[in-house]
């Protein structure tokens, strides 16, 4: 039997999270965030940032998807700040700062519209 590596597990979890395939299993979201952070820390700073942005976008896309269970979208909203805080930690330039501010504006606007 083939045991999936962490990258495969992460991508599988990402799909489950994004489409709310198991909306009554919040531990999957917690595991996704934890595994993503662990993987990101093993990468270059640029790749780490990209990974956190990908996690943020996955959660935002889930929050905005009205085909996904409402309570799952709310759970994603409760946790979307985790990758955002990790991105903030990597700010080095004013451009980085502007991007983070834009992500916060996007979050504020879209979360009020969709939830």
Q: What angle do CA 23, 105, 33 make, to 5 degrees?
A: 35
pTM of the model: 0.93
pLDDT tens, per residue, the chain with 115 residues: 445 688 899 999 999 999 999 999 999 999 999 999 999 999 999 999 999 999 999 999 999 999 999 999 999 999 999 999 999 999 999 999 999 999 999 999 999 888 7
**Three-state secondary structure along 6-48?**
HHHHHHHHHHHHHHCCCCCCHHHHHHHHHHHHHHHCCCCHHHH
The DSSP call for residue 66 is T
What pLDDT does 113 receive? 87
Q: Characterise 20 by phi-psi region: left (phi > 0), alpha (psi -120 to 50), beta (else).
A: left
User: Which residues lie closer than 8 Å to 80 by C-beta, 6 or more apart?
Assistant: 56, 59, 60, 63, 107
């Amino acid at each position: 039997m083939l045991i999936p590596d962490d990258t495969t597990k992460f991508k599988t979890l990402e799909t489950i999270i994004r489409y709310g395939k198991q909306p009554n299993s919040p531990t999957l979201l917690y595991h996704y965030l934890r595994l993503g952070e662990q993987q990101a820390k093993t990468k270059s700073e640029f790749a780490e940032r990209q990974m956190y942005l990908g996690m943020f976008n996955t959660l935002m896309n889930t929050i905005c998807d009205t085909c996904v269970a409402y309570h799952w979208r709310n759970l994603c909203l409760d946790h979307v700040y985790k990758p955002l805080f990790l991105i903030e930690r990597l700010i080095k330039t004013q451009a980085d700062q502007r991007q983070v501010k834009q992500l916060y504006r996007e979050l504020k606007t879209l979360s009020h519209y969709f939830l």
